[in-house]
């Protein structure tokens, strides 16, 4: 279910209405969030709901063992039953065997195929064995758990989450890489052992979110939740479930633990604005720019053998690269805006994930502005534990490189993401070696900051080329087209006009945000100016929104 779909609009109205009917009933509101979030996620593929339940169950238990050294019998029964029921409901039952004819309002069930799912039964049996063994072990060694064994439980949490993430996201990547390495180094071709694995939507986001919660409990920064419903709501909260922001337990979980007051009019107004602003960025800018970005990259990905030949002169390729920079920003930040706006209507505050990233003067500034929830996650749970900047320059550069390479792999299982991570780590290291950080201590005149912003934007766009390319060969051929064919064609200016036509308002608005140092400068403007902006946004959505309902780019990560 896409944020940009009519289905989601109906879903949101129904859930929001029911939610506020239940105001001041905390348990009922949290339960509604869990049910609606599971429905929202299951709309893509119901089978992967079992992974969310599994991740929720593991981290709920491990956090309590870390914090308290024990789990109540009531909680163990809840976890056991939730895992078994979810395995049965989400994996065993074949919903294709259920058919509803809306014309005659008749429900038919093919009972012979309803429960015929060998893999589902195998996972159900495995789940039964594991939870039975876990309960037996706990009953016999409960005294052992009451001692300080925090690291063991933290390890179980992290290992389980990384195993799930690694299997679904990286198994085929490492298997294919092993085959290639064996062929190139030893001349031996091992048998094919890759699997037909489907990547669950949003698995990287909710996995990192639950991991950070357990780590924070281990560090003593938050108490373990003792209510399964509120914790399940925190893990599965549908506005930010599939593409973030990656929320911390210490910031979002307390909002599920206390009654939410009815939103003030200012919160409703801001929430609605964020939703429409996000829809504008996604449907009007990102999806329209995709029409000039995708054919060009597909052409280079296929080695120039695609059907229609896109422009290949140097300036056109630069314009297409700028278009992708705006596309990915509007696509991803548009999702975040809609998520934050939707959450506000429910009385929740999600973190800001973007702060005008293309006004960054250097890579450190960029990562304080772009995908802030991931960059701070990598900083707090990877870079600093590796040693951060405490071990001298060489170790600092090593830590930066490792953090960014792993951050690149977080985005996807491909060598282009490894190269992109290496590139980002190299930029951070070079700028650090040169002592350039205009926002955190550099005292530069305004004209010089503007030049630094322009220059670093070019470096950012090179990074986006690496990020968007499907193979390393695509990177080389695309850069070659820019460097060795510095010509223009009439189509070049058509591309530029298309780029400016869809993005001019965003550029102007973000310049005003930057000058005001305020992401919501409209609150200080005259009502007539605000009215005209609203008219422009709504009319643009009605007239210029791209058809087709493209998925958000970060759903693939």
Residues catalogued as catalytic: 411
Residues β-bridged to residue 108: 99
Q: Using N-to-C axis directions, what is the helix angle for 393-411 and 415-434, rounded to 10°?
A: 150
Residue 378 makes CB contacts below 8 A (sequence gap 6+) with 403, 404, 406, 407, 410
Distance CA 201, CA 44 (A): 8
Residues β-bridged to residue 101: 106
Helices (H), 187-264: 203-218, 228-236, 249-256
Question: What are the CA-CA distances from residue 195 to residues 100, 175, 200, 394 (Å)?
Answer: 33, 10, 15, 40
Q: What are the backbone angles phi and psi of residue 387, rounded to the nearest 5°?
A: 130, -15
Distance CA 478, CA 473 (A): 9
| H or E element at residue 292 | helix 287-301
Residues β-bridged to residue 98: 109
Distance CA 331, CA 350 (A): 18
Distance CA 498, CA 293 (A): 11
Residue 520 makes CB contacts below 8 A (sequence gap 6+) with 270, 273
CA torsion sign, 10 to 279 to 343 to 239? Answer: positive
Q: Shortest CA distance to 317 belongs to which of 503, 553, 475, 472? A: 475
Distance between alpha carbon 214 and the CA centroid of its chain, in Å? 19
């Amino acid at each position: 279910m896409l944020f940009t779909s009519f289905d989601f609009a109906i879903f949101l109205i129904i859930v929001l209405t029911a939610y506020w009917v239940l105001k001041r009933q905390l348990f009922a509101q949290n339960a509604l969030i869990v049910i609606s979030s599971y429905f929202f996620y299951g709309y893509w593929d119901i089978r992967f709901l079992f992974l969310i339940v599994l991740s929720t169950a593991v981290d709920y238990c491990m956090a309590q063992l870390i914090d308290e050294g024990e789990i109540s019998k009531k909680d163990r029964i809840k976890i056991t039953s939730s895992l078994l029921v979810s395995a049965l409901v989400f994996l065993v039952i074949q919903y294709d065997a259920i058919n509803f004819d809306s014309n005659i309002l008749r429900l038919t069930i093919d009972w012979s195929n309803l429960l015929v799912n060998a893999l589902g039964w195998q996972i159900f049996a495995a789940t039964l064995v594991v939870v039975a063994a876990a309960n037996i072990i706990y009953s016999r060694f409960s005294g052992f758990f009451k001692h300080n064994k925090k690291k063991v439980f933290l390890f179980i949490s992290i290992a389980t989450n990384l195993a799930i993430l690694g299997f679904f996201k990286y198994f085929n990547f490492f298997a294919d890489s092993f085959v290639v390495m064996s062929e190139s180094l030893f001349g031996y071709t091992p048998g094919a052992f890759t699997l037909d694995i489907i990547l669950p939507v949003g698995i990287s986001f909710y996995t990192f979110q639950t991991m950070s919660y357990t780590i924070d409990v281990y560090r003593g920064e938050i108490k373990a939740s003792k209510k399964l419903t509120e914790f399940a709501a925190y893990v599965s909260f549908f506005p930010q479930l599939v593409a973030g922001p990656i929320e911390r337990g210490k910031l979002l979980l307390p909002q599920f633990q206390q009654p939410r007051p009815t939103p003030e009019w200012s919160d409703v107004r801001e929430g609605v604005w964020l939703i429409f602003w996000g829809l504008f960025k996604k449907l009007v800018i990102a999806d329209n720019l995709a029409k000039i970005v995708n054919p060009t990259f597909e052409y280079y990905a296929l080695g120039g053998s695609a059907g229609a030949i896109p422009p290949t002169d140097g300036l056109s390729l630069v314009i297409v690269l700028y278009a992708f920079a705006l596309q990915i920003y509007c696509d991803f930040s548009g999702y975040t805006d809609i998520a934050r706006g939707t959450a506000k209507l429910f009385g929740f505050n999600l973190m800001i994930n973007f702060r005008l990233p293309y006004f960054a003067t250097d890579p450190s500034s960029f990562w304080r502005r772009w995908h802030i929830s991931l960059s701070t996650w990598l900083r707090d749970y990877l870079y600093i534990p590796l040693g951060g900047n405490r071990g001298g320059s060489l170790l600092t550069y090593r830590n930066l490189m490792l953090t960014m390479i792993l951050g690149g792999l977080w985005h996807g299982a491909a060598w282009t993401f490894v190269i992109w991570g290496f590139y980002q780590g190299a930029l951070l290291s070079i700028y650090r070696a040169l002592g350039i950080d205009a926002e955190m201590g550099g005292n530069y005149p305004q004209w010089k900051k503007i030049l630094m912003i322009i220059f670093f934007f070019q470096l950012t766009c090179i990074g986006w080329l690496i990020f968007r390319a499907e193979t390393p060969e695509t990177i080389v051929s695309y850069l070659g087209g820019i460097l060795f064919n510095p010509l223009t064609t009439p189509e070049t200016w058509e591309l530029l006009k298309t780029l400016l036509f869809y993005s001019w308002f965003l550029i102007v608005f973000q310049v005003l945000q930057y000058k005001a140092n305020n992401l919501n400068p409209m609150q200080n403007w005259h009502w007539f100016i605000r009215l005209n902006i609203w008219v422009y946004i709504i009319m643009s959505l009605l007239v210029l929104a791209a058809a087709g309902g493209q998925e958000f780019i970060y759903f693939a990560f």
